[in-house]
A = this chain, B = another copy of it.
Amino acid sequence: MRQRTLFTKTRKEAPSDEVAKNAKLLIRAGFVDKLQAGVYSYLPLGLRVLKKIEQIIREEMNAVCGQEILMPSLHPKENWQTTGRWDTMDDLYKVSDTSGRENALGATHEEIVVPLVKQFVSSYRDLPFSVYQFQNKFRMELRAKSGILRGREFIMKDMYSFHKDETDLKNFYDKMKKSYERVFERFGIGEKTYLTFAGGGSFSKYSHEFQTVTPAGEDTIYICDICHIAINKEIIEDQNHTCPLCGNKNLRTETAVEVGNIFELKTKYSAPFDLSYKDEEGKDQPVIMGCYGIGLGRVFGTVVEAYGDDKGLVWPREIAPFAVHLVEILSANIRVREETEKFYNELIGQGIDVLWDDRDLRAGEKFADSDLIGIPFRVVVSEKTLTEGKFEIKARATGEVSMVDRDELIKFIKSVKLKVNTDACPTL
């Protein structure tokens, strides 16, 4: 993409009412725009990141045989009354139409997915399976001050699994732990993200959160460095400050952001909707459920909090809006423009995403913007680099600079391999 054509621009200052680091940097760099507290638009650069996050999750959910669907946001009051949450969920938005019919705006989708799948489940032969979606959630956060980490409106991947017994749920649940580890690894936050034991509510001893260590975190976790897992503060007393896996008492405290969570719902939502099946003997049995969430904006903001520095954003390669920021230093010599364009087309021809800064700005402004936008590799083309037959390449994360020729450069960028998931679901 040619930067000249991009309708957004970078800004020197963030809006004064914005306090979160993630929102400040993302707004300054033109990735998002704030419509009101907790409600953001994704602009072209930001949407590219969001789509990459989405696609990584989709590949991994397909690999565990998840079936993608899309459920609506306007939920009949009756569904929420069936589970009792119409009256108990404080952050539920409620909307009436002029005929007096009441709806909830989807804050989560158990109330919709259970009656939906009930139409298709009658026998043990129909189980197990799982469905997932990418869909907006609406939650009435009265004080939304964490940028895109905590929104009134936000996109979530929510998956729901359906099983004939707890053993089958347990097997799938363990598979999902591994799936989530791959997802966060692919986002570039694997090392900072901990499988975290949290309270399970009335149905299970534990649920599990995935917590990413960053100073912006609203949660406190206790990390066991032996097992690379953590315990959420809410249950650390019950656990006697001890790792539930290895007994280690030497736990390290960190603040962290919850980027995902998985729950054994068991019969919590199948019971009120009477979601059951006939077992091998023809007897009715309740369907056993699990659910598995990842907030896409939450991940987006967490990566900014975890890696952004005083110069701006720093994107991991897998979810970066572009792989290369090609910065053209303006010159009276027409060859600079010609060679930049040629090289730009060559990179694109090699399947490499490039943002080409072809704007009429001074080099210093372009470099500052390049640091702010945070694309992994900055490649400078100038009269000097043309004369020398070398390009200057700088890694945003480390600041390391090298001079390389055209072939070395392309070979290097292509050598940074993106992880892919080759485990296709065996049955879909």
Contact = CB atoms under 8 A, between A and B. Distances in A.
A334 interface: no
A55 interface: no
26 contacts: A2-B427, A4-B427, A5-B129, A5-B427, A7-B67, A7-B117, A8-B120, A30-B120, A35-B72, A35-B75, A35-B76, A35-B116, A36-B74, A41-B69, A41-B72, A42-B69, A43-B69, A44-B131, A47-B70, A73-B73, A73-B136, A73-B153, A74-B138, A95-B95, A97-B142, A99-B142
Contacts of A105: 95, 105
A313 B42 CA distance: 36
A39 B72 contact: yes
A216 interface: no
Contacts of A410: none
Contacts of A129: 5, 7
Interface in A27-85: 30, 33, 35-36, 39-44, 47, 50, 65, 67-76
A72 B142 contact: no
**Chain A interface bracket (under 10, 10 to 19, 20 to 34, 35 or more):** 35 or more
* Identical chains in the assembly: 2
Interface string A225-260: 000000000000000000000000000000000000
A94 interface: yes
A99 B131 CA distance: 35
Nearest to A97: B140
A93 interface: yes
A50 B65 CA distance: 20
Interface in A194-218: none
A9 interface: yes
Contact of A39 (B7, B74, B117): B74
Contacts of A398: none
A33 B95 contact: no
